[in-house]
Structure 1
């Protein structure tokens, strides 16, 4: 089987802030790097509460999915990283506005700190 590897990049999501690509597509599978709630134009965290950050995070993830030729609905595995696990119910409420059943497989993990002081981050695997 021939492996076709492509780097996915879009200006509609925050530029990488380290040594990584926004996503890497190998054949029909896309590996999505973590997205935090940065405004793609200013590269600053969005103003507001946890829900505002979660919305921006999903918008950023969606933009990368679209750049790869898919959508959030094509995600088969989603990882969510929360600075405070008490926000778990809110992330579920916000996620329900971006995903429909059947939902992707998912892990939600409490972490001590995220880049740029974000409260939430998500990464995933998408199959086209």
Structure 2
């Protein structure tokens, strides 16, 4: 009924959670971050890496970006919305998923952006 999805091509969990859980035909992907790039000052590269991590997890479950039906974007600074939105949008050329974007007080490992998704086969 519930299958844990894990790939070496995305960061290992830093707590008691899974990269993703497949329940029936729905995949719940935990928030992805790019802490190795968070201090580089290159927010575009950080957002790109987050989306690549998501893509690698989707692939492990036999899915791709077209399977995403819902996204949640968490930003350290809402002033970064335009840049993150540009990177994020490049992955959805048609029929983008539902989404919310919120600014939060702090993110794990002090990153600038975290994105979680729900995908359906």
Q: TM range, normalised to the smaller chain?
A: over 0.9
Structure 1 residue 16 corresponds to structure 2 residue 9: no
Q: For residues 72-98 of structure 1, what are the alpha-carbon distances to aligned partners after superposition, in whole Å with 9 as ceiling and x for unaligned?
A: 111000000000001111111111221
Cα RMSD (Å) of the superposition? 1.1
**What's 1:45 paired with?**
37
Unaligned runs of 5+ in 2: none
1:83 and 1:112 in contact (8 A); partners too: yes
Shift of residue 120 of structure 1? 0.1
| Alignment of structure 1 residues 62-73 onto 2, 5 Å | 62-73=55-66
| Alignment of structure 1 residues 1-128 onto 2, 5 Å | 4-38=1-35, 44-45=36-37, 47-128=40-121
Shift of residue 45 of structure 1? 3.4
1:45 and 1:116 in contact (8 A); partners too: no
TM-score, length basis structure 2? 0.94
TM-score, length basis structure 1? 0.89
Unaligned runs of 5+ in 1: 39-43
